[in-house]
């Protein structure tokens, strides 16, 4: 049976102001792909209201660490009250978005994702417990640390892009 | 024995003005351009609703086939007058949901049956073409993403 270990649970970055929407999302996509996580858009919603556009996208990226474990990042991007603004920057006009952005990050390590250790056989179940506790544990700890580092690096990347203060 | 493997799936929801014909022609062009077959399995048409199920398959070789299933559901459809380049045009406004599912089928020609050949097939999948199965899955994942991008472009969505 596949088992999940949570590394990041709903870590959020919020921003309100001016930014280039498509470029911002593209930068996150490039970051994930550079780190070896794929980019799967599970859900994408766009509506227009009197306050502006509302956009919500759920992204999933996963990296196979070995045949036994996978690192998974889930990102939920929410943009609220998005309005277009044309900005004249050094004589060059370009289109920006003004509004609120919220980025929520979840991350976990999934072991036995191929479900080879089936639970219907008690001996297999015990063997898996023994394997995960005593043989695989240093390796899975290292994987969790790598995912933690990736989450921190992604948060830094987003903060840098949005020019947020860092403490 | 044929084996179907689920790959990436994606869902697009949009509320606003869109051109249904442009959307359908985009899906059809994209699928044909990527050498997928194009089959409308279901087409429901009422005054303010549309329901559509499109299936496409692509033969990679004699053992592997990729499938794309696109489900389109439109509701609360109404005509609106839009001004584009100072010209009035009638467009449709409503709620649209598009689901895209990617699938892969191994042994679609049913050459391996149960029994001894079933065990041979298991060995073949687990130890001989395991890496290639991953590559084909990546291929269909990429197609789901590209089709989703094309659809969002046709709907003139922001992202």
CB contact under 8 A, A48 and B15: yes
A48 touching chain B per CB within 8 A:
yes
Q: Which residues pair with A74 in a beta bridge?
A: A60, A106
Contact (Cβ atoms closer than 8 angstroms) between residue A19 and residue A101: yes
Does the pLDDT at position B13 exceed 90?
yes
Q: Which two tokens stand for residue A84?
A: 């277009």
Best residue of A40, A48, A113, A115 to probe chain B, by most B CBs closer than 10 Å: A40
Q: pLDDT for A17-71, tens place per residue?
A: 999 999 999 999 999 999 999 898 899 999 988 889 999 999 999 998 877 788 9
Q: Which long-range contacts (CB under 8 A, 24 or more apart) does A118-126 make?
A: A118/A1, A119/A1
**Which of A46-60, A103-117, A145-159, B33-47 comes out lowest in average pLDDT?**
A103-117
CA distance A110 to A119: 16
b/e code A124-142 from CB counts within 10 Å (16+ = b):
eeeebeeebeeebeeebee
Task: Compute the nearest-CA separation of A43 from chain B (Å).
Answer: 5
Residue ranges of E strands in chain B: 3-18, 39-45, 50-59, 64-84, 87-106
Q: What percent of chain A has pLDDT over 90?
A: 53
Q: Judge whether A21 is closer than 8 Å to chain B, CB to CB.
A: yes
Q: Which whole number is the average pLDDT over B39-64? A: 92
State the ipTM, two decimals: 0.73
Q: How many CA atoms lie within 13 A of B126 on its CB side?
A: 8
Cα separations (Å) of A150 from A63, A159, B3, B149?
11, 14, 35, 26
pLDDT of residue A95: 87
Q: What is the pLDDT of residue A108?
A: 93
Confidence category of residue B122, pLDDT binned at 50, 70, 90:
confident
Bridge partner residues of B128 (DSSP): none
Cα–Cα distance for residue pair B14/B156, rounded to 1 Å: 10
Domain extent listing, chain A: 3-162
The CA distance from B32 to the nearest CA of chain A, in Å, is: 23
Does B58 have pLDDT greater than 80?
Answer: yes
Confidence of residue B71 (pLDDT cuts 50, 70, 90): very high
Please report which helix (H) or strand (E) contains residue B141, including its range.
Answer: helix B130-154
pLDDT score of B3 more than 90: no
Interchain contact A33–B (C-beta under 8 A): no
List beta partners, residue A85: A96
Q: How far apart are CA A80 and CA A134, in angstroms?
A: 47
Over 90: is that where the pLDDT of B149 sits? yes
The rounded mean pLDDT for chain B is 91
Who contacts A5 (Cβ-Cβ below 8 Å, separation ≥6)? A108, A109, A110, A111, A140, A144
Taking residues B137-158, report their average pLDDT. 92
Q: What is the pLDDT of residue B89?
A: 83
> What local confidence, expressed as pLDDT, does residue B14 receive?
93
In chain A, the residue whose alpha carbon lies closest to the alpha carbon of B149 is A41
Tell me the mean pLDDT in the region B39-51. 89
Mean pLDDT of chain A: 87
User: Is the CB of A44 less than 8 angstroms away from the CB of B158?
Assistant: no
> Which of A42, A43, A46 comes nearest B157 by C-beta?
A46
What's the confidence (pLDDT) of residue B68? 96
Pick A21's closest partner by Cβ from B8, B10, B158: B158
Strands, sheet with B3-18, edge to edge from the N-terminal-most edge strand = A3-19, A92-111, A69-89, A52-64, A40-49, B3-18, B87-106, B64-84, B50-59, B39-45
Residue B120: predicted pLDDT: 87
A47 contacts chain B (CB < 8 A):
yes
pLDDT over 70, % of chain A: 92
Choose the weakest-confidence range: A102-116, A127-141, B75-89, B93-107.
A127-141
**B14 contacts on A by Cβ (under 8 Å):** 45-47
Closest CA of chain A from B41, distance in Å: 23
Among the ranges given (A61-65, B71-75, B148-152), the one the predictor scored with the smallest mean pLDDT: A61-65
pLDDT at B114 over 80: no
The CA distance from A77 to the nearest CA of chain B, in Å, is 11
Give the Cα separation of A51 and A81 in Å (integer): 5
| Tokens read off for B109 | 């020609």
Q: Per the structure block, which two tokens stand in for A7?
A: 């590394």
Mean pLDDT for the stretch of residues A121-149: 81
Give the three-state DSSP class for A122: helix
Q: What is the pLDDT of residues B76-88, one digit of tens each?
A: 999 888 888 888 8
- When pLDDT is averaged across residues B26-46 and rounded to a whole number, the result is 92
Between the CA atoms of A27, A103, A73 and A146, what dihedral angle is there, to the nearest 10 degrees? 80
- Which residues of chain A neighbour B94 with C-beta distances below 8 Å? none
Q: Show residues of chain B in contact with A57, CB under 8 Å.
A: 159
Q: What's the pLDDT at A165?
A: 62
Task: Return the pLDDT at B1.
Answer: 81
Is A50 near chain B, with CB under 8 Å? no
Q: Is the pLDDT of residue B35 over 90?
A: yes
CB–CB contact A46 B138 (8 Å): no
Between CA A15 and CA A159 the distance in angstroms is 9
CA angle, residues B116, B120, B123, in degrees to nearest 5: 140
pLDDT-derived band at A100 (thresholds 50, 70, 90) equals very high
Q: Does A85 touch chain B (CB under 8 A)?
A: no
Q: What is the sign of the dihedral through the CA atoms of B150, B151, B153 and B157?
A: negative
Q: Does the beta-carbon distance from B15 to A47 stay under 8 Å? A: yes
Instruction: Please say if the pLDDT value at position A167 is more than 60.
Output: no
Check B138 against A38: CB less than 8 A apart. yes
């Amino acid at each position: 049976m596949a088992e999940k270990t949570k590394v990041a649970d709903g870590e959020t970055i919020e921003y309100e102001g001016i930014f280039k929407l498509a470029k911002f999302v593209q930068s996150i996509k490039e970051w994930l792909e550079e780190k070896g996580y794929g980019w799967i858009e599970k859900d994408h919603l766009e509506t227009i209201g009197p306050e502006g556009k509302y956009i919500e996208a759920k992204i999933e990226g996963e990296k196979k660490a070995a045949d036994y474990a996978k690192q998974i990042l889930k990102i939920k991007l929410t943009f609220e009250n998005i309005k277009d603004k044309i900005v004249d920057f050094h004589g060059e006009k370009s289109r920006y978005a003004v509004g609120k952005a919220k980025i929520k990050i979840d991350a976990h390590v999934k072991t036995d994702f191929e479900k080879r250790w089936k639970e219907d056989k008690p001996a297999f179940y015990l063997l898996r417990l023994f394997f995960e506790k005593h043989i695989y544990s240093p390796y899975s700890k290292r994987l969790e640390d790598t995912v933690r580092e990736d989450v921190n690096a992604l948060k830094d990347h987003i903060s840098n892009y949005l020019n947020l203060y860092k403490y | 024995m044929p084996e179907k493997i689920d790959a990436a799936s994606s869902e697009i929801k949009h509320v606003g003005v869109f051109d249904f014909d442009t959307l359908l022609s985009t899906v059809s062009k994209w699928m044909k351009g990527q050498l997928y077959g194009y089959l409308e399995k279901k087409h429901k048409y009422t005054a303010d609703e549309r329901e559509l199920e499109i299936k496409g398959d692509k033969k990679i070789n004699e053992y592997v086939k990729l499938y794309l299933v696109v489900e389109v559901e439109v509701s609360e459809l109404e005509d609106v007058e839009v001004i584009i380049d100072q010209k009035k045009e009638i467009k449709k406004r409503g709620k649209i949901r598009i689901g895209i599912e990617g699938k892969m089928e191994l042994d679609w020609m049913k050459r391996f049956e149960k029994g001894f050949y079933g065990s041979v097939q298991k060995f073949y999948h687990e130890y001989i073409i395991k890496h290639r199965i991953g590559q084909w899955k990546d291929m269909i994942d990429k197609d789901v993403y590209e089709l989703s991008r094309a659809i969002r472009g046709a709907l003139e969505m922001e992202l």
